Amino acid sequence: MRFLAAPPGEIMAEPYQLNGILNGMPNLSHPSSPSEVDEFCKALGGNSPIHSVLVANNGMAAVKFMRSIRIWALETFGTEKAILLVAMATPEDLKINAEHIRIADQFIEVPGGTNNNNYANVQLIVEIAERTRVSAVWPGWGHASENPELPDALDEKGIIFLGPPSAAMAALGDKIGSSLIAQAAGVPTLPWSGSHVKVPPESCHSIPEELYRNACVSTTEEAVASCQVVGYPAMIKASWGGGGKGIRKVHNDDEVRALFKQVQGEVPGSPIFIMKVASQSRHLEVQLLCDKHGNVAALHSRDCSVQRRHQKIIEEGPITIAAPDTVKELEQAARQLAKCVQYVGAATVEYLYSMETGEYYFLELNPRLQVEHPVTEWIAEINLPAAQVAVGMGIPLYNIPEIRRFYGMDHGGGYHNWRTISAVATKFDLDKAQSVRPKGHCVAVRVTSEDPDDGFKPTSGRVEELNFKSKPNVWAYFSVKASICPSKLSGGAIHEFSDSQFGHVFAFGESRSLAIANMVLGLKEIQIRGEIRTNVDYTVDLLNATEYRENKIHTGWLDSRIAMRVRAERPPWYLSVVGGALYEASSRSSSVITDYVGYLSKGQIPPKHISLVNLTVTLNIEGSKYTIETVRGGPRSYKLRMNGSEIETEIHSLRDGGLLMQLDGNSHVIYAETEAAGTRLLINGRTCLLQKEHDPSKLLADTPCKLLRFLVADGSHVDADTPYAEVEVMKMCMPLLLPASGVIHFVMPEGQAMKANDLIARLDLDDPSSVRRAEPFHGSFPKLGPPTAISGKVHQKFAASVNSAHMILAGYEHNINEVVQDLLNCLDNPELPFLQWQELMSVLATRLPKDLRNELDGKYKEYELNPDFCKSKDFPARLLRGVIEANLAYCSEKDRVTNERLVEPLMSLVKSYEGGRESHARVVSDVIERLRLQHAKDLEKVVYIVFSHQGVRSKNKLILRLMEALVYPNPSAYRDQLIRFSALNHTSYSEVKLKILKD
């Protein structure tokens, strides 16, 4: 890291923490010379060149701005570093390796905790901007972006604010003030607590304090009275709120009294007002861009009607629900509002549109760039963060290349030809100019760390995998990346002070339906795993819903689906059961091995009851209790038995901790995360919860949060489903509901920060027997085929049977009678050696010497055409062995060693068949030889030897069946093996030994 000394004549300020180094100030030198940026600014009519920007934000906002500026700088100046970017970083951001820190040229470490300590701290932002000597500050969205004190403080220091001046921000950015101005400008508004307040047009720049107060409600009773006037249902809204915070819907006086304080608590100090709810309405908005010269551009429109708790989930553009003339009216009204207060920068004017009447009402103006702005970027082909920088430089809109193109004017080919723009740029009236048609349709989806199964409650924690593949019509950006080490927060994570949104996906199409289809495909390919929950699966279902595809949604549509408990698609029930059983069995098997090694390492004898092969698993899934017996048929093979039914499956461990399960001829990828409520399984991207046995008498925190206050008295009797406490989860105030009726006793104090599973209170249940328990499942598995496709070829059946016999001898469980019968059937089939030979040759043919390969193929085909072969069907083992040995004899000594190694599998096969098929049957004796395991020093090998010994009964049964079928008809061929078995002294083998001695 390089640093600049203080300029001559100046005293170096006290050390400030930069990139973790308490020394000096950042070097904001850059590869593009300042004169180039100066020349650009001058050529396009600007007066304030911007060489560096402090990004006073984090998360999604910071990442999007930085990437947009990098792209614009590369196109405009030939280097992405032309504009230097300085980031702010809290300890929490650093701990989770926040993406915006990685992208920035420099970062300044700032205090952690809530945003009043950092990103919303105006004094801190201004101080950092001064110290780092940046040209401008970009506030993003949220935090300090709507605080009028910030542009004023920066203006005093001569630093450009990439947003509106304080007067315009105060007038229009404030929800109450903007509604009063809208009324004064003749823009329709819904009935609200300020409907009776009339602001003279000349006072729009600075609304008198008395008029402003008359539009507010400051107490609960004032709120009740106002709601009674405007009518229920109504909204209690904080003027400084946004993103779903500081807003509650109420239906009666009691709800007002219960929820008014929640609104106050979410946005402390904010003025509050009441507004009538518009039922069956759409949330429509217009994107504005205003320069310092009074020009205002309306950059098409967006529809953001899919909302959850008044927070947008799906956005799209342009508007398709309203008539084109109505959209033009919305744009004209938005421009008029901006001109009323001499607005500068990017802004969004929001409206409610009645689907029944076609009327629209002003909702609010957001004096900043909004998170969904890429929708406009795609359909208008304008880089909005870059346009903000251009406006900040003082460049008129009519000289910005992308704005000129938007209005169908000569644009010189784009930013990269900025040196020639003065030759083609001519001033034009944006109010009279006609914009080009929107480019197709764009749909956007916010990716949030919220649990759709738990009322969209925010979650936080580690992100182990985040994988998204961009396509020509689908792209996304994220504020986190995957963890490097799954065991700790060494990589990406969502911390408790983050916004719940950490990703945004955008899909384009020539039509709305094509954009939706592209979005569905894009979302299905997103892989996100970790301690957090996401809304991805749920949103796919929303996009596929008939109401959404037919454009029949409204602002309450999603909340109504949530109220009706419409959930995301789950994996088929049997997949959840099989996946859960395999996960539990696999985890417990690993635990058993660890325990066994622990006993052995201490010189202790492990308990006899420990089994690696047979485990019983109990799962609670969505109110049903499943009891499954898992039986291992090999290291990766399982049989699952439930209520008399049985299925077979195989699993393979993945390097990232997942399981690849093969069932019924299909593959399924399984991941698991432990959380407060149980184990969350992710099966093929769909989730299910293996629930813990829940004790309703213990009220636990299910996610990290802060206990704000209790809503009932300690020791009081409370009914089920009553809110008993209020917590703050990732900036959201949420009530906690009682699971059952009883007397509550608080344990956790108010104001306490809590971890998942912390005890909040105890509940003396009115009726413990009434608590709903999981009901035992009495059904069966569906009829399923084998894990993988089974070959009908005899040599492959033989190999599978031999492998099964090996597994029995290793202590695993298989049907012995079936295994032996399959072995005998294969050994009796004359096609076996021929198919084995053909399989080996298909593998070795390209590696064998050409002469040997040709001679073997020739002799083999010659034998097949021999009339004697048609009668006997005997395998020409001696003939083929002779060819191989003759060829080896003619090789040089050097080649012979290599060739002997190559032909070893072929020689092994022909030798085993030299005595005919009866002789080859002795190959089964090799299975029996595997009983003589070598006791290595590796304790885990000892564990498997012991488990093998636990299956001695099955092994004895297999050996006896093989002896009956193969040995006794021709005992002389197995003399050596019989002698070794007769020498066995352990009582476990007495049955085998007795049979040998008897016969």
Are 493 and 50 a contacting pair, CB within 8 Å?
no
Are 379 and 300 a contacting pair, CB within 8 Å?
yes
Helices (H), 111-252: 122-132, 149-156, 166-168, 175-184, 209-214, 220-230
Instruction: Give DSSP secondary structure letters for 844-901.
Output: HTTTS-HHHHHHHHHHHHHHHTSHHHHHH----HHHHHHHHHHHHHTS-HHHHHHHHH
What 599-603 contacts at long range (C-beta under 8 Å, 24+ apart), as own/partner pairs, is: 600/939, 600/942, 600/943, 601/939
Are 778 and 627 a contacting pair, CB within 8 Å?
no
Of 484, 279, 560, 296, the residue nearest 407 (C-alpha) = 296
Of 944, 924, 918, the residue nearest 933 (C-alpha) = 944
What single DSSP character describes residue 803? H
408: which residues sit within 8 A by CB, 6+ positions away? 433, 434, 435, 436
3 state SS of 61: helix
At position 843, the amino acid (one-letter code) is V
Q: Which of 282, 302, 368, 446 is catalytic?
A: 368
876: which residues sit within 8 A by CB, 6+ positions away? 859, 860, 863, 869
- State the Cα–Cα distance between residues 209 and 187, nearest whole angstrom: 22
Structure tokens at 391: 């406006």
- State the Cα–Cα distance between residues 378 and 381, nearest whole angstrom: 5
- State the Cα–Cα distance between residues 989 and 955, nearest whole angstrom: 9
Helix axes 573-601, 939-950, angle to 10 degrees: 120
At position 385, the amino acid (one-letter code) is P
Q: 419 catalytic, yes or no? A: no
- State the Cα–Cα distance between residues 508 and 379, nearest whole angstrom: 9
Of 696, 883, 679, the residue nearest 771 (C-alpha) = 696
First to last CA, the chain: 86
3 state SS of 748: coil
- State the Cα–Cα distance between residues 479 and 104, nearest whole angstrom: 13
Beta strands in 355-405 (DSSP E): 360-366
- State the Cα–Cα distance between residues 231 and 226, nearest whole angstrom: 8
Are 76 and 400 a contacting pair, CB within 8 Å?
no
User: Which residues sit opposite 289 in a β-bridge?
Assistant: 297, 346
- State the Cα–Cα distance between residues 214 and 195, nearest whole angstrom: 10
- State the Cα–Cα distance between residues 105 and 98, nearest whole angstrom: 14
CA distances in angstroms from 47 to 77, 160, 395, 429, listed in the order given: 18, 12, 7, 21
630: which residues sit within 8 A by CB, 6+ positions away? 581, 582, 585, 614, 615, 616, 617, 638, 639, 640
Residues with catalytic roles:
368
